[in-house]
Structure 1
Amino acid sequence: MGFWQDKKVLITGHTGFKGAWLSELLLARGARIFGVALPPEGDDSLFQQLRLPERMQGAFVDIRHAAALTAEIQSFDPEIVLHLAAQALVRRSYQDPVGNWSINVMGTVHLLDALRQMDKPVTAVIVTTDKVYENNERDYAYRENDPLGGYDPYSASKAACELLSTSWRRSFGGDKLKIATARAGNVIGGGDWSEDRLVPDIIRALENGKSIEIRNPASIRPWQHVLDPLKGYLTLAEKVDQATDGAFQTGYNFGPEPTDIHTVSTLADAMICHWPGRWIDASDPDAVHEAGRLNLSIDKARNELGWKPVWRFEDAIDKTVHWYHQVAFGADPLELTQAQIAAFEAAR
């Protein structure tokens, strides 16, 4: 708990799947947290299931509204900022590209500009994605110094956030404003109820006794349990905040071990080993483009931050399906989540 005990931490996107897990993780570490985000989508959000509205401070703010965001930041006066708020769905970014860019890029501009105006030192970790790289669809683990790119609006907007963060750090950074970025792979875990996302779609099909429709069974992704990259974000924030020489203010990949990078069909097969069902190939040759192969090198985070994944692919599948299965039969989501966090912390 040491570093995080009573630390004032602002989380953007705390009502989302990763934001809710991060909030619970920081509460367990004794931090004083405040969240800014849009209201959660749906009545069954993890944010509600963990009863976070009763257990943490926060405000519903659209990060595209600079004045409202700045007011909340100045009022809370954070020491650490973890920026997760984003439009995070590839296919939705095709449907509303302008909204996607406005949220992801201008929302980040508004956040960084509000931090620039603070009168005290602050450390910010800007969360992007493994999709920021120029993807050549080859068997290659992308490293932090590889060219940025992005085919679809979501991926390109997140690559732009990387450039934005670097520019802001060079232009306005220093002892008062420290900025790093975190690029994570495909996360899974209990409590993700998003539409048009693989694991929630599988769970909904299993709960209803329906066949699971898989759009891209041959696509390869760096799967990992959500707690692993979140631990990476916290490790990075701690390193950046404590450094006195500008160290660690750069981008870091957080992904699984190389042997835990698998196809979508492998993930589906692994899940139905724990919760019986069947999947069918629902590939659409006319569907919008999505990356076929994603792979990250985590050597930099391992060597410079001392971070490494805790739960392997099989563990992540087991923990994820167990969470959903137990909740489906009446278990308390908060107790399940806290138990998994305790097990994760003990294992690391």
Structure 2
Amino acid sequence: MHELSGRRVLVTGASGFVGRHLMGAAAFAGVEFATLQNVDIRDRSALQAEVASIRPDHVIHLAAQSFVPRSFEDPAGTLEINLMGTLHLLQALDSVGFSGRFLYVSSGDVYGAVHESQLPVTEQHPPAPRNPYAVSKLSAELLCLQWHRSNSLDVVVARPFNHVGPGQDAAFVVPALAAQVVAIARGQRAPLIRAGDIDVTRDFTDVRDIVVGYARLLVSGTSGRTYQLCSGAERSVRGILERLLALKAVDAEIEQDPSKFRPAEQRRMVADNTLVSRDTGWLPAIPWEKTLQDIIEEMESRT
């Protein structure tokens, strides 16, 4: 986007799944990216020195502990990274007189359990986190918006829902299933898919569409506002698995493992993207079939 060309944008968490897609996206053509070099955001003094050397025009704060099961195992560590790390970043930016836009990347998981009668969920729905990860993200949202109100910081909050695509860690559901499908297609394992609870639905969006949304929010989002980034389509994990199997022409038995079922699981989820579309013009553009095909192809290239 030409409005960002020539601007120095600090991307935290740049080496992660989303960060790698973001820094290669055409929507950020001409941007001078800066990243944190071997700096842990939990280390306030090191972070402050790094920010002072970068002096960014804008910030996209992606860095987080984002794996929900891990947040149950280590809630303190999750809060330390996601909440205190965000505080340290805000303090570091304040110390160098930062006056640009701060895009905080939260999560649609902050809503917790949403009754089916209230779907699709909108930004007006009251958050009710049901895991430590979501608590940490909502807390950091509130912190950023407090800085907007108290320190006149130009903050926009993004609440992306599930995003998938090539390069995602195989600990997450879609690449985990794709890896099994690829192994079966190659004859490397018996035709048996082991999965958790696949009869839940989620609002999945291609990560390459999500990062375009971040570019649009950086340019056109309204300061102090929270935006959902989502497809608006409800897809079941079972349906995704069936499509992955079909793409490789594989037949397999499905075995659900109760040990992989999450505590406090939301059965259905779909969200509304009206607000972000109205304010920035963003809507997902990549066909879902292409997303799944690209995940399969990337998984094949890994092994």
TM-score after normalising by structure 2: 0.90
Deviation at 1:27, TM superposition (A): 8.9
Structure 2 CA distance for partners of 1:217 and 1:200, relative to 1, 3 Å: same
Aligned partner of 1:291 in structure 2 is 266
**Per-residue CA distance 1:260-304 (angstroms, 9 max, x = gap):** 321111111112222244352324177533322222111101111
**Per-residue CA distance 1:131-158 (angstroms, 9 max, x = gap):** 1114234251111121112011111211
Aligned partner of 2:225 in structure 1 is 250
Aligned partner of 1:269 in structure 2 is 242
**Per-residue CA distance 1:201-228 (angstroms, 9 max, x = gap):** 1233234333332201111100111011
Contact 1:256 1:312 in 2 (8 A): no
**1:218 pairs with 2:193:** no
State the distance in 1 between where 2:242 and 2:199 align: 12
Contact 1:125 1:182 in 2 (8 A): yes
Contact 1:83 1:124 in 2 (8 A): yes
**1:116 pairs with 2:90:** no
**1:204 pairs with 2:179:** yes
Match of 2:255 among 281, 291, 301: 281
State the distance in 2 between where 1:269 and 1:302 align: 31
Contact 1:131 1:294 in 2 (8 A): no
Structure 1 residue runs of 5 or longer lacking an equivalent are 37-58, 241-246, 330-348
The within-5 A match list for 1:1-348 is 1-25=1-25, 29-36=29-36, 59-139=37-117, 140-173=119-152, 177-195=153-171, 197-209=172-184, 210=189, 211-240=192-221, 247-257=222-232, 260-277=233-250, 278=252, 280-284=254-258, 287-325=262-300, 327-328=301-302
Deviation at 1:199, TM superposition (A): 2.1
Structure 2 CA distance for partners of 1:95 and 1:279, relative to 1, 3 Å: farther
Secondary structure, counterpart of 1:294 in structure 2: coil
Secondary structure, counterpart of 1:208 in structure 2: helix
Contact 2:60 2:102 in 1 (8 A): yes
State the distance in 2 between where 1:288 and 1:71 align: 40
Which amino acid in structure 2 is aligned with residue 94 of structure 1? F
Secondary structure, counterpart of 1:320 in structure 2: helix
Which amino acid in structure 2 is aligned with residue 99 of structure 1? G
Structure 2 CA distance for partners of 1:14 and 1:316, relative to 1, 3 Å: same
State the distance in 2 between where 1:34 and 1:61 align: 13
Residue range with higher mean Cα deviation, 127-136 or 9-18: 127-136
Deviation at 1:28, TM superposition (A): 6.1
State the distance in 1 between where 2:113 and 2:243 align: 27
Structure 2 CA distance for partners of 1:17 and 1:96, relative to 1, 3 Å: same
Structure 2 CA distance for partners of 1:295 and 1:98, relative to 1, 3 Å: same
- After superposition, the CA RMSD in angstroms is 2.0
Which amino acid in structure 1 is aligned with residue 142 of structure 2? L
Contact 1:215 1:284 in 2 (8 A): yes
Contact 1:214 1:280 in 2 (8 A): yes
Structure 2 residue runs of 5 or longer lacking an equivalent are none
**Per-residue CA distance 1:9-35 (angstroms, 9 max, x = gap):** 110001111111111116960211112
State the distance in 1 between where 2:28 and 2:84 align: 32
State the distance in 1 between where 2:145 and 2:245 align: 42
Structure 2 CA distance for partners of 1:231 and 1:159, relative to 1, 3 Å: same
Secondary structure, counterpart of 1:60 in structure 2: coil
Structure 2 CA distance for partners of 1:194 and 1:72, relative to 1, 3 Å: farther
Aligned partner of 1:53 in structure 2 is none
Secondary structure, counterpart of 1:136 in structure 2: coil
Identity of aligned residues (%): 28
